[in-house]
Chains A and B, each alone.
Chain A
Amino acid sequence: DAKTTQPPSMDCAEGRAANLPCNHSTISGNEYVYWYRQIHSQGPQYIIHGLKNNETNEMASLIITEDRKSSTLILPHATLRDTAVYYCIAGYNAGNMLTFGGGTRLMVKP
């Protein structure tokens, strides 16, 4: 799996958009970009994933650069319950193991 780099922490005001960056400059052509989040003392929660195109679901949007070397997870209207550690992972598919890095600790503040 390609290595990913994320800022260790970020703050966001409640109600504002949270934009979480991820660098994956060594990603290979058939590796997906996965985003999970982990709220304290819980298992990771799947958010979204993509290969080349931007993706959107009810939780978030994923913007992948054209060269696929970086991506941004967007939480359009952050709430206090979005406070968590967000992990960006590059992986071939869900049948393979996922390698977790340090993630970004997002703190949503009132």
Chain B
Amino acid sequence: GAVVSQHPSRVICKSGTSVKIECRSLDFQATTMFWYRQFPKKSLMLMATSNEGSKATYEQGVEKDKFLINHASLTLSTLTVTSAHPEDSSFYICSANSGEDTQYFGPGTRLTVL
């Protein structure tokens, strides 16, 4: 299947700093990418839909000014957690549509905010 990568795989930061997470489709172009968040022992929750060349669409309750999404190319979307706080500590996962009827997920990024 298609490959989606994320970088970094894990990050620890101090409260108040910003963290950028990259999501790349390695062997296909993705006009749409999705960002999910997963808290311990919970299921994945969609945060936003990222469309290449346009503004992201955020789910209800997700602050767009706090979680900045940039989909600058057909193979790269970035999620920036601004002014991170301990409650933002979570597992962030992206996915991309390969153009077939399937979404492929990245390996996830574990964010810990101290």
Q: How large is the interface on A (under 10, 10 to 19, 20 to 34, 35 or more residues)?
A: 20 to 34
B43 interface residue (CB < 8 Å to A): yes
How many angstroms from the CA of A46 to the CA of B105 in the assembled complex? 8
Indicate if B61 sits at the interface (CB-CB under 8 A): no
- Whether the Cβ atoms of A100 and B106 lie closer than 8 Å is no
Q: How far is the CB of B67 from chain A (nearest CB, A)?
A: 16
Q: A7 near B: Cβ within 8 Å?
A: no
Tell me the total A-B contact number using a CB cutoff of 8 A.
54
Across-interface contacts of B72 in A (CB, < 8 A)? none
B interface bracket (residues with beta carbon within 8 Å of A) = 20 to 34
Please determine whether A97 and B101 come into contact, CB atoms closer than 8 angstroms.
no
Q: CB distance A42 to B43 under 8 Å?
A: no
Within B63-114, which residues are at the interface with A (CB < 8 Å)?
A: 91, 93, 95, 97-98, 100-108, 110
A-side contacts of B32, CB under 8 Å = 95
Least CB separation from B59: chain A residue: A97
Interface residues of A (CB under 8 A from B): 32, 34, 36, 38, 41-46, 49, 87, 93-95, 97-103
